[in-house]
Amino acid sequence: MPTTDEFLNHTKACTEADVALGKNVWTMYASTVSELGEFADEALKEENVPTHGHKPVDEGTLGEGVDVVICALALYFMRGGTPQHLAEYGMKKLAKWEESQHKELQRQQKQ
Q: Give the Cα separation of 36 and 34 in Å (integer).
A: 5
Q: Is the pLDDT of residue 22 over 80?
A: yes
Determine the average pLDDT of the residues in 39-51: 89
pLDDT digits (tens, 9 = 90+) for 67-89: 999 999 999 999 999 999 999 99
Cβ atoms of 31 and 70 closer than 8 Å? no
Cβ atoms of 32 and 72 closer than 8 Å? yes
